[in-house]
Amino acid sequence: MKAVVIHAAKDLRIEQRPTETPGTGQVAVAIATGGICGSDLHYYNHGGFGAVRVKHPMVLGHEVAGTVTAAGIGVESLRPGDRVAVSPSRPCNRCEYCLAGLQNHCLDMRFYGSAMRDPHVDGAFRQHLVADASQCHKLADRVSLAEGALAEPFAVTLHAVSRAGSLLGKRVLVSGSGPIGVLCTLAARAHGAQEIIATDVMDAPLAYARKVGADRTINVADDATALTELGRGKGSIDVVFEASGNAAALGSALAVLRPRGTLVQLGLGGDISFPQNMVVSKEIEMRGSFRFHEEFALAVDLMNSGRVDLRPVVSETRPVDDAVAAFELASDRRRSMKVQLDFA
């Protein structure tokens, strides 16, 4: 089978790997679609992020869906032919955080396509994947495998919404309209936000935000006065989802939040400075949001029941053999939103 393997920055290869046989409690999945994520792009463009570096070849990818081809002993929930979204999250379920229901904080996490551990954990950009049956969530007939491969990034945004608390009747700003920002807009809409304003520094991604239901979009590079207006008095926004990781965007988020408003930080930006006096004087709640756990099943359920339509988020699909071109395309925010690989 073919697998997409990162060796170093700008050194991505399509390699042959042996297929595996499912063991007890496992299934084999013929992967159909894999979405390229921002973290995959960090490995591709920079060889990693922060202290996390690719030290030896690693199969990339963690946003996948496919069809079950074989089930191991003891698997009763899945049969060959079932179409599934595969959760890349594999917590140990034994450590103190797992036992407290905080699996996204597992001390022994084996997340697909991550160089955080050494040896690295191989990812799911491959034609055949053996996974635990519990990682595989059945897709309804109405949901395509391409849409199913969006369950993972959508789960990230559902987790962010859960970190924010109730959005019913709230005025929400989504800062940064890449794939996570756009899915965050969808998640906030599904959770009863009254008004959603999406921002970015480019027009192309904002068109996607409008397509999935943002009430208003602001290109902050062209129109800084719009943010000044939102920050009038002590601010007018109840909840900001900060998905850019950019220092200036964080400063703007704090300026537009109303007193006791909530900032949910999703974007990773390293060590950046921000006006902490504003956090104090406006009593702003700053909350981080990292990965997801139970929200993966919720993401699939929302798609299966037709309550969300994630399809507009996909901008291009490329055959696995063109993975390098697909990664270049996904790196260009002017030309793409979510780029997916076709493994069939």
Q: Which residues of this protein are in contact with Zn ion, per CB under 5 A? A: 91-92, 95, 98, 106
Return d(Cα 173, Cα 152) in angstroms, integer: 22
Tell me if 87 sits within 8 A of 102, measured CB to CB.
Answer: no
Nearer to Zn ion, 41 or 95 (CB): 95
CB 310 within 8 A of CB 154: yes
**Closest separation between CB of residue 94 and Zn ion, Å?**
6
Task: Specify the residue, 107 or 248, whose C-beta has the smaller distance to Zn ion.
Answer: 107
Residue from 160, 216, 215 nearest 183 by CA:
160
Rounded to a whole number of angstroms, the minimum distance from the CB of residue 96 to Zn ion is: 8
Give CA–CA dist 280/100, Å, rounded: 31
- Residue 39 tokens, joined: 């973290």
Nearer to Zn ion, 92 or 207 (CB): 92
Q: Please, which residues bridge with residue 3 across strands?
A: 15, 126
Residue number with CB closer to Zn ion (29 or 121): 121
Tokens of 238: 């109840």
Nearer to Zn ion, 294 or 342 (CB): 294
Asked whether the beta carbons of 103 and 293 are under 8 A apart, the reply is yes
CB of residue 89 vs Zn ion: minimum separation in angstroms?
11
In whole angstroms, the minimum distance from the beta carbon of 36 to Zn ion comes to 28
CB of 100 to Zn ion, least distance (A): 10
Task: Please tell me the total number of residues recorded for the chain in this structure.
Answer: 344
Joined together, the tokens standing for residue 278 give: 């504003």
CB of 301 to Zn ion, least distance (A): 24
- Say how far apart CA 218 and CA 185 lie, in whole Å: 14
In angstroms, give the least distance from the CB of 111 to Zn ion.
12
99/248 with CB nearer Zn ion:
99
Q: Which of 187, 221, 182, 222 is nearest to 198 (CA)?
A: 182
- Please report the beta strands in the chain, taking only residues with DSSP state E, as ranges in sequence order: 2-8, 11-16, 26-35, 48-49, 52-53, 58-59, 63-71, 83-86, 128-132, 136-138, 171-175, 195-200, 216-219, 237-242, 257-265, 285-288, 314-319, 338-342
Nearer residue to Zn ion within complex by CB, 1 or 92: 92
User: Strands 48-49, 83-86: parallel, antiparallel or unpaired by DSSP?
Assistant: unpaired
Q: C-beta of 101: minimal distance to Zn ion in Å? A: 11
| Residue 92 or 329 with smaller CB distance to Zn ion | 92
- Closest approach, Cβ 109 to Zn ion, in A, equals 7
Based on CB atoms, which residue is closest to Zn ion, 93 or 281?
A: 93
Closest to 185 measured CA to CA, from 243, 237, 145 = 243
- Residues 6 or more apart in contact with residue 273 via CB below 8 angstroms: 247
